[in-house]
Chains A and B, each alone.
Chain A
Amino acid sequence: MKVPRRGGRRAEGPAGGGLSGEGASVPPADHLDEQISSLRESVEVELREAGLPRRARRPLVQPATKATLGSAVTLASLLSLGAVALWAASLPGVDVSRMSDIGLVSVLPSAMFVSIAMLTISFCISLRELPRGKWLVLLNVAVLVVIVAATAALVEPEPRTVAVWRHVGVIESISRNGQVDPHIDAYFNWPGFFILGAFIGDVAGVKSAIVFADWAPLLFNFLYLGPLLMLFRSATKDERVVWLAIWFFYSTNWVNQDYFSPQAFGFFLYIAALAVIVRWFSATQSAGKPRRLWRNRFGLQWGRFAGGVPVAASGATPTSGSELSPRQRVALIGLTVILVAAIVPSHQLTPFAMLSSLAALVAFNRTSARMLPVITAVLIGTWMVFMAASYLAGHIDVLTGHVGRLEDTVQANVGAHIGGSSEHRLVVNTRLALTAVVWGLALLGAILAFRARRLQVTFGLLAVAPFALVALQPYGGEVLLRVYFFSLPFVAFFAASAFFSGRGSNRSWPRIVAICGASLILLAALPLARYGNERMDFFTADETRAVYRLYDVAPPGSLLVAGSRNVPWKFEGYEQFDYLVVAETDLWARTEANRGDIGNVVASVESQMRARGSGRAYLIITRSEKVYLDLLGFAPRGALDRFERAVVSSGQFRQIYGNRDATIFVIARQRGPST
Chain B
Amino acid sequence: MISRLWLWFVLASSIAVVSLVVLDVDSAIRPFVVVAFLIVAPGTAIVRLLKIPDRIAELTLGIALSAAVDGTVPGVLMYAGFWSSDLALLIVIGITLAATFLEARSRRRTSA
Interface residue ranges, A against B (CB under 8 Å): 49, 174-175, 178-180, 191-193, 195-196, 198-200, 202-206, 211-212, 223, 226-227, 229-230, 265, 268-269, 272-273, 275-276, 279, 312, 316-317, 319, 328, 331-332, 335, 338-339, 341-342, 345-346, 387
Given known contacts A205-B30, A268-B67, A331-B49, A199 and B85 CB-to-CB distance under 8 angstroms: yes
Docked Cα-Cα span, A199 to B75, in Å, equals 9
Chain B nearest Cβ from A227, distance in angstroms = 6
- In the complex, residue of chain A having the shortest beta-carbon distance to the beta carbon of B59: A226
Pairs A-B, 10 closest by C-beta atoms: A226-B60, A202-B85, A342-B68, A272-B64, A196-B71, A178-B83, A199-B74, A204-B31, A204-B34, A317-B53
- In the complex, residue of chain A having the shortest beta-carbon distance to the beta carbon of B89: A203
| CB neighbours of B30 from chain A (8 A) | 204-205
Docked Cα-Cα span, A328 to B51, in Å, equals 8
Q: Which label, helix, strand, loop or mixed, suits the secondary structure of the A interface?
A: helix
Q: By the criterion CB–CB under 8 Å, are A179 and B78 in contact?
A: yes
Q: By the criterion CB–CB under 8 Å, are A269 and B68 in contact?
A: yes
Given known contacts A265-B67, A269-B67, A342-B72, A205 and B31 CB-to-CB distance under 8 angstroms: yes
Question: Which of A195, A230, A338 lies at the interface centre, i.e. has the most chain B CB atoms within 10 A of its CB?
Answer: A195
Interface residues on B, range: 35 or more
Partner of B70, one of A49, A196, A312: A196
List CB contacts (< 8 Å) of B35-80 with chain A.
Answer: 35, 38, 46-47, 49-54, 56-57, 59-61, 63-65, 67-75, 78-79
B2 at the interface (CB under 8 A from A): no
Docked Cα-Cα span, A211 to B46, in Å, equals 30
- In the complex, residue of chain B having the shortest beta-carbon distance to the beta carbon of A233: B56
Docked Cα-Cα span, A300 to B52, in Å, equals 35
Partner of A338, one of B17, B57, B68, B79: B68
Docked Cα-Cα span, A328 to B20, in Å, equals 36
B21 at the interface (CB under 8 A from A): yes
Q: By the criterion CB–CB under 8 Å, are A203 and B61 in contact?
A: no
Chain A nearest Cβ from B36, distance in angstroms = 10
Q: By the criterion CB–CB under 8 Å, are A328 and B70 in contact?
A: no
| CB neighbours of A268 from chain B (8 A) | 64, 67
What are 7 A-B interface contacts by the 8 Å CB criterion? A179-B83, A200-B70, A203-B21, A203-B85, A205-B25, A319-B54, A338-B65
| CB neighbours of A332 from chain B (8 A) | 50
| CB neighbours of B26 from chain A (8 A) | 205
Chain A nearest Cβ from B93, distance in angstroms = 10
Q: By the criterion CB–CB under 8 Å, are B70 and A272 in contact?
A: no
Docked Cα-Cα span, A387 to B59, in Å, equals 32
Docked Cα-Cα span, A145 to B21, in Å, equals 32
- In the complex, residue of chain B having the shortest beta-carbon distance to the beta carbon of A332: B50
Q: By the criterion CB–CB under 8 Å, are A212 and B54 in contact?
A: no
Docked Cα-Cα span, A316 to B30, in Å, equals 35
Q: By the criterion CB–CB under 8 Å, are B74 and A195 in contact?
A: yes
- In the complex, residue of chain A having the shortest beta-carbon distance to the beta carbon of B47: A335
Q: By the criterion CB–CB under 8 Å, are A195 and B75 in contact?
A: yes
- In the complex, residue of chain A having the shortest beta-carbon distance to the beta carbon of B34: A204
Partner of B74, one of A196, A212, A316: A196
Q: By the criterion CB–CB under 8 Å, are A203 and B64 in contact?
A: no
Docked Cα-Cα span, A561 to B88, in Å, equals 38
| CB neighbours of B60 from chain A (8 A) | 226-227, 229-230, 272, 275
Question: Which of A203, A279, A341 lies at the interface centre, i.e. has the most chain B CB atoms within 10 A of its CB?
Answer: A203
Question: Which of B38, B54, B81 lies at the interface centre, i.e. has the most chain A CB atoms within 10 A of its CB?
Answer: B54
Q: By the criterion CB–CB under 8 Å, are A328 and B65 in contact?
A: no
Chain B nearest Cβ from A245, distance in angstroms = 15
Docked Cα-Cα span, A589 to B70, in Å, equals 45
Q: By the criterion CB–CB under 8 Å, are B47 and A319 in contact?
A: no
| CB neighbours of A279 from chain B (8 A) | 57
Given known contacts A180-B78, A195-B71, A328-B51, A230 and B56 CB-to-CB distance under 8 angstroms: yes
Chain A nearest Cβ from B25, distance in angstroms = 7
Docked Cα-Cα span, A527 to B72, in Å, equals 36
Beyond A316-B54, A342-B72, 19 additional pairs, beta carbon < 8 A: A174-B78, A178-B78, A180-B78, A196-B67, A199-B85, A200-B38, A203-B17, A203-B21, A203-B34, A205-B20, A205-B26, A223-B63, A226-B59, A226-B60, A227-B60, A229-B56, A335-B61, A345-B71, A345-B75
| CB neighbours of B85 from chain A (8 A) | 175, 198-199, 202-203
Chain B nearest Cβ from A187, distance in angstroms = 14
Docked Cα-Cα span, A279 to B58, in Å, equals 13
Chain B nearest Cβ from A188, distance in angstroms = 11
- In the complex, residue of chain A having the shortest beta-carbon distance to the beta carbon of B18: A203
Partner of B31, one of A175, A198, A206: A206
| CB neighbours of A211 from chain B (8 A) | 31
Chain A nearest Cβ from B53, distance in angstroms = 5
Q: By the criterion CB–CB under 8 Å, are A342 and B67 in contact?
A: yes
Docked Cα-Cα span, A179 to B77, in Å, equals 9
Chain A nearest Cβ from B38, distance in angstroms = 6
Docked Cα-Cα span, A319 to B56, in Å, equals 12
Q: By the criterion CB–CB under 8 Å, are A226 and B83 in contact?
A: no
- In the complex, residue of chain A having the shortest beta-carbon distance to the beta carbon of B83: A178
Docked Cα-Cα span, A558 to B34, in Å, equals 37
Docked Cα-Cα span, A193 to B72, in Å, equals 10
Docked Cα-Cα span, A268 to B25, in Å, equals 31
Q: By the criterion CB–CB under 8 Å, are B50 and A328 in contact?
A: yes
- In the complex, residue of chain B having the shortest beta-carbon distance to the beta carbon of A271: B64
Q: By the criterion CB–CB under 8 Å, are A199 and B88 in contact?
A: yes
Q: By the criterion CB–CB under 8 Å, are B56 and A316 in contact?
A: yes
| CB neighbours of B20 from chain A (8 A) | 205
| CB neighbours of A317 from chain B (8 A) | 53-54
Docked Cα-Cα span, A202 to B90, in Å, equals 13
Docked Cα-Cα span, A341 to B72, in Å, equals 9
Given known contacts A276-B61, A335-B65, A341-B68, A200 and B54 CB-to-CB distance under 8 angstroms: no
Partner of B71, one of A276, A331, A346: A346
| CB neighbours of B17 from chain A (8 A) | 203
Partner of A339, one of B21, B52, B68, B73: B68
Given known contacts A178-B78, A205-B26, A226 and B56 CB-to-CB distance under 8 angstroms: yes
